[in-house]
C-alpha cells in the first residue's frame, strides 16, 4: 500500500473518531446527579414509607450507618441500592438520581405534589408538573 493511501486512511480514521465523539456530545447531554439532592430524595422516600433509618438501610441493601453516610452526603448512592429502592418502593431511577417524575408511580407523584418538601425534590427541568402543562 502506498504511503499516500496509508496517510489518507489514517487521516480518514482520525476524522471519523473526532466527528463521532463530537456527535455523541451533541446527541447526549450528560446528566449528572447531585449527591445532596439524591440524599434528600432518599430521605423523603424513607419518611413517606414510615421506616426508621435502620429499617430503610436494611431494605435497600445495607445497614443504618451506611445509609447515614448517604443521607449526610458523605457517600454517593450505589446503583445496587438504587435498584433495590426501585424494586421495593415502585419509584424510578430517574427520580432518585435526577428528580424526574416521568414514569413515577401515581401514589408517589401525589405525595410529591401535595407538600412543599415534595415539590422541592423535583428538578427544575421537570417544570411541566408545576405549571400543570404535563399530564402524569
Query: 88-105: per-residue pLDDT in tens?
Result: 998 999 999 989 888 888
- Cell triple for residue 102? 416521568
Q: What is residue 48's predicted lDDT score, i.e. its pLDDT?
A: 92
- Cell triple for residue 134? 404535563
The CA distance from 56 to 43, in Å, is 9
How remote is the C-alpha of 61 from its chain's centroid? 18
The CA distance from 102 to 94, in Å, is 8
* Angle formed by the axes of helices 64-71 and 35-49, nearest 10°: 130
Residue 17: pLDDT above 90? no
pLDDT band of residue 132 (cuts 50, 70, 90) is very low
110-126: pLDDT as tens digits:
998 898 888 889 877 65
Residue of 46, 37, 44, 16 lying closest to 126 (CA atoms): 37
Q: Is 135 or 93 the better-scoring residue by pLDDT?
A: 93
35-90: pLDDT as tens digits:
899 999 999 999 999 999 889 888 887 777 888 888 888 888 888 889 999 999 98
Amino acid at each position: 500500500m502506498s504511503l499516500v493511501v496509508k496517510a489518507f486512511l489514517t487521516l480518514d480514521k482520525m476524522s471519523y473518531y473526532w466527528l463521532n465523539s463530537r456527535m455523541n456530545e451533541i446527541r447526549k447531554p450528560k446528566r449528572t446527579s447531585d449527591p445532596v439532592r439524591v440524599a434528600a430524595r432518599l430521605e423523603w422516600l424513607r419518611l413517606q414509607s414510615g421506616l426508621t433509618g435502620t429499617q430503610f438501610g436494611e431494605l435497600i441493601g445495607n445497614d443504618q450507618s451506611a445509609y447515614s453516610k448517604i443521607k449526610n452526603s458523605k457517600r454517593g448512592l450505589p446503583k445496587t441500592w438504587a435498584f433495590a429502592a426501585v424494586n421495593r418502593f415502585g419509584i424510578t431511577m430517574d427520580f432518585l438520581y435526577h428528580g424526574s417524575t416521568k414514569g413515577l408511580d401515581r401514589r408517589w407523584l401525589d405525595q410529591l405534589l401535595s407538600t412543599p418538601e415534595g415539590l422541592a425534590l423535583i428538578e427544575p427541568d421537570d417544570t411541566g408538573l408545576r405549571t400543570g402543562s404535563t399530564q402524569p
